[in-house]
Amino acid sequence: MNKVVLVTGANSGIGLGLCERLLQDNESLQLCLACRNMQRAQAARSALLTSHPSAQVALLQMDTSSISSVLAAAQEVKLRYNRLDCLYLNAGIMPKPQFDVNAFFKGVFSSGIITMFTTGQGILTQKDCVTADSLQEVFATNLFGHFLLIRELEPVLCDAGHTSQLIWTSSSNAHRPAFNLEDMQHQRGTQPYSSSKYASDLLSLALNTHHNKQGLYSSVICPGFVMTNMTYGILPSFPAFLWTLLMPVFWLIRIFCNNFTLNPYNGSEALFWLFKQKPESLDPQAKYHSSTSGLGNNYIQPRKMDIDLETSEALYEQLLQLESEVRKKLKGKQK
């Protein structure tokens, strides 16, 4: 049977790069692009079909920051497919950051240059906003919308005698100090992106605890430092030509630091590799990093995540409680 794969945030960057690789490997896939902007989604679909005319590429409108959009999209998926083999939880946002120029130039000439470039640590702070559902936008988009999607799609993911995968696009910027269980949505902090990515690492572990017996397995990847629209938005005051000037620096750094994958194809290496593995053989506490050597060869590096079962379970319970609350609010509005 042809596998059914759904990718959130698939119209550009790493998501689109992944879709291209999946179809290069197997055009018989049933591939569904779940995107917020349908105009961009249609353009992505057309580009994929130009390269793979016989491919089955469907579109699904979904904004993971919107509860009603996620619920409607999940219903549509269940109408279209009786099973889902792989769900890529790739959609995400990073708020336009405040950039500390002085810290940047100090960092360029310090031993922390690689960490600074790959995580923004020390040079970026972010200000989040609130969605129409009264949730923090980064939390809702990167984590909670995906959690709700998984919950809604359990009937097609947890099918008897069938193994399915959840694969999260996380980040090397997922730091434990940025996350606080008492402030799950990161309302009081200045690192909502880092917090949301650390939370996704925790949630992946909890999902394995709760769903492995049902044949559902969750894994986490880091794409490395990739030049995408999100990356270009990190330093919004920089003119475009500066990125061109920086590219030789990035290539030089890659000789010594293999997480400078730089383009979406390389960055999707771990996403694609995981799809080819038996999910039950994977380490639930490992993050699988896309890596590119100085010669341009791609490979995978599994690294233990700084997470624990107790915290992951506590987060899972809080998310269930929040799910219950938002469903009650939604029902109240519908009445």
Catalytic residues: 193
- The torsion angles phi and psi of 37, rounded to 5 degrees, stand at -100, 110
Nearest to 214 by CA among 177, 137, 162: 162
CA distance 230 to 119: 13
Please state, as a whole number, how many other Cβ atoms lie within 10 Å of the Cβ of residue 199.
29
What are the DSSP calls for 228-285, one per residue? SHHHHHHSTTS-HHHHHHHHHHHHHHHHH-TT--BSHHHHTHHHHHHHTS-GGGS-TT
Residues whose CB is less than 8 angstroms from the CB of residue 115 and which lie 6 or more positions away in sequence, other chains included: 121
H/E segment holding residue 98: strand 97-99
With a CB cutoff of 8 Å and minimum separation 6, the contacts of 156 are 77, 78, 81, 82, 83, 84
Q: Indicate if the alpha-carbon torsion angle 282, 284, 286, 290 is positive or negative.
A: positive
